[in-house]
Amino acid sequence: MIVVIDVGNTNIVMGLYEGKKLLHHWRFGTNRSATADEYGILIYHFFKHAGLDIDNIDGVIISSVVPPLNYTLEELCRKYLKKPPLIVGPGIKTGLNIRYENPREVGADRIVNAVGAIELYGTPVIVVDFGTATTFDYIDENGDYLGGAIAPGIGISTEALYQRAAKLPRIELVKPKSVIGRNPVTSMQAGIIFGFAAQVDGIVERIRREFNNRARVVATGGLAELIAEESETIETVNQELTLLGLRIIYERNQPESRKAGGL
């Protein structure tokens, strides 16, 4: 079994693969001050609850956009999972031709998403990831990663509005009945939900015009379904895209003898 871990600024998503089948996946908060022991006990209980033996793990791969946590997670893997992790970064085989000005500056999550999107949807493809930031990534018809756009995420934008506007409340992110809100809560919901959907559509259409194609659009991330309902350009939502990309990259970095064994 292979453990795949994606470390975001807000959440960590962990999946467990047996061959190409995703057996389980879990989401838990990113805590920069947590120790390897704290994360280890948490993961141990995830496995126990699912009736899994933590000793049956064959390998671990991690993508992280939180560098201060990397050492903690490596210690976690060695101490509790009994495997040194493969970290997505420079020197790792991804199969992706990255045409960023400085490929080392591309977030690991964006690379992993691109690998998964190419595998499932072909090219050209645009990946929209609704995380702490909303990222847009474009992979052209040759399978080259060209870059994309980064915008403030829905969560931090909503929180900033509450913190900086004295009379506006914290709200639940649900679709309002109308784009014309009749009170502060529904007005904020309309601005956020419909506003972010329009942002997605606007950026996607600009990418399509710039490259003169109708690239497929796939979304992932916590609020992807909510925004996709109002977006005119999002065609597919896949919450397992990052986990899939991690599994593929793990396989690409194994010796041929191990690949032949079904990993």
Dig out the tokens for 17 from the structure.
Answer: 């693969």
C-alpha span between 157 and 154 (Å, rounded) = 5
Output phi, psi for 43, to 5 deg: -65, -40
- Going by C-beta distance under 8 Å and a sequence separation of 6 or more, which residues neighbour residue 192? 154, 157, 158, 171, 173
Give the separation between CA 146 and CA 195, rounded to whole angstroms.
26
- In this structure, are residues 44 and 3 in contact, taking their beta carbons and an 8 Å threshold? no
Tokens of 236: 């597919």
Q: Which of 164, 138, 237 is nearest to 197 (CA)?
A: 237
CA–CA distance, 86 with 152 (Å, rounded to integer)? 29
CA distances from 197 to 154, 168, 177 (A): 11, 22, 15
Which are the catalytic amino acids?
109
Cα 90 to Cα 78: distance, rounded to the nearest angstrom: 21
In terms of Cα–Cα distance, which of 248, 13, 236, 224 is closest to 126? 236
